[in-house]
Copies of this chain bind each other. A is one copy, B any other.
């Protein structure tokens, strides 16, 4: 099993999950009051937008990580499979979250359920990175040693951030959704991986891949 196969399969799952997401938005039930009904569905739309960005940014970070890998082993493939499971599962809690917020019923439960899914997802990311980077097991030689530890801290911290999201879910479901949006933006800015790229910038072949 070579690395690019795993990436192509993962890309497929990312692309399908992000596109399937639209099926989670509840359809209008009464076309006589369509404008009203679409207006009431704004939490469905907000949950859609947040999860779309979450999956899109994860796709981006998935590639960043795989660019740092020189090889893959069977355990990494299975860890990646669990990671993909938490992502492919996201449309389910997203739909429930949006509908619960729109109905104003079950919102706390839905926010907890969504946050627990994201927490499990964060655990998979951390597991993937720790497995790949322990003793530089699967890393490319150019990957800077300092970033190895920084990224381990970032991924471990990610599980903590999503644990906090579970806590926020108990306080306020809307705040919880906003917190997930904020975390997505944080990962989009992606400070640590940028650092690694800068340090690896001198290496022609990797830097070239970034630019082309």
Q: Which of A's residues lie within 8 Å of B, judged by CB? A: 1-3, 5, 8-9, 11-23, 25, 27-28, 31-35, 38, 48-49, 52-53, 56-57, 59-60, 63-64, 70-71, 77-78, 81, 84-85, 88-92, 95-96, 99-100, 103, 105-106, 109-110, 113, 188, 209-212
Number of copies: 4
Contacts A16-B16, A20-B23, A22-B92 given; 11 further ones with Cβ under 8 A? A5-B11, A12-B15, A16-B19, A19-B20, A19-B88, A22-B90, A31-B106, A34-B100, A34-B106, A49-B85, A60-B77
Are B9 and A16 touching (Cβ within 8 A)?
Answer: no
Ordered by A's residue number, 20 sampled pairs between the chains whose C-beta atoms are within 8 Å are: A1-B63, A3-B212, A5-B11, A8-B8, A13-B18, A18-B84, A20-B20, A20-B23, A25-B92, A28-B106, A31-B103, A32-B105, A32-B106, A35-B109, A48-B89, A49-B85, A57-B81, A60-B77, A71-B211, A71-B212
One of B53, B106, B210 near A81 (C-beta < 8 A): B53
